[in-house]
Amino acid sequence: MRIKLTAEPGSARNNKTGSWRVERRPQFLQKNCSACRMCILVCPEGIVSGKEKNSFKTDYLYCKGCGLCAAVCPKKDIEMVPEETESKK
């Protein structure tokens, strides 16, 4: 067999699938965040991290730009911005 057909646990990390993202990405404003953790819960990629208020962020290497985190945030503290927008952080 010339091509290995099995994968070790956690190897999905090797694929930087953030390149699949089109048009918009979430911007974590870190202004009104209440640390409710809803964004962590809904992110289908499991890549949102943070503990303290106004510390939450995502990993753009994997973020697909689905917008679920922005939609769920009760504080409207996550904004979907066009991909070409300069990062504030």
**Which positions lie near other proteins, rule CB under 8 A?**
1-3, 5-9
With beta carbons less than 8 A apart as the criterion, state whether 74 and 34 touch.
yes
Distances (CA, A) of 40 to 1, 54, 61, 84, 86: 40, 13, 16, 24, 24
Report d(CA 67, CA 42) in Å as an integer. 10
Q: Which of 17, 35, 79, 81 binds ligand SF4 (CB under 6 A)?
A: 35
Nearer to ligand SF4, 6 or 80 (CB): 80
Q: Taking the complex as a whole, how short is the minimal distance between the CB of residue 40 and ligand SF4, in angstroms?
A: 7
Q: Is there a contact between 33 and 53 (Cβ–Cβ < 8 Å)?
A: yes
From ligand SF4, other proteins, none, interface partner of 3 (C-beta below 5 to 8 A by class)? other proteins
Segment interacting with ligand SF4, rule: CB under 6 A, options 9-17, 26-34, 81-89: 26-34
Is 73 near ligand SF4 (CB under 6 A)?
Answer: yes
Q: Which is nearer to ligand SF4, 4 or 89 (CB)?
A: 89
Q: How far apart are CA 85 and CA 15, in angstroms?
A: 24
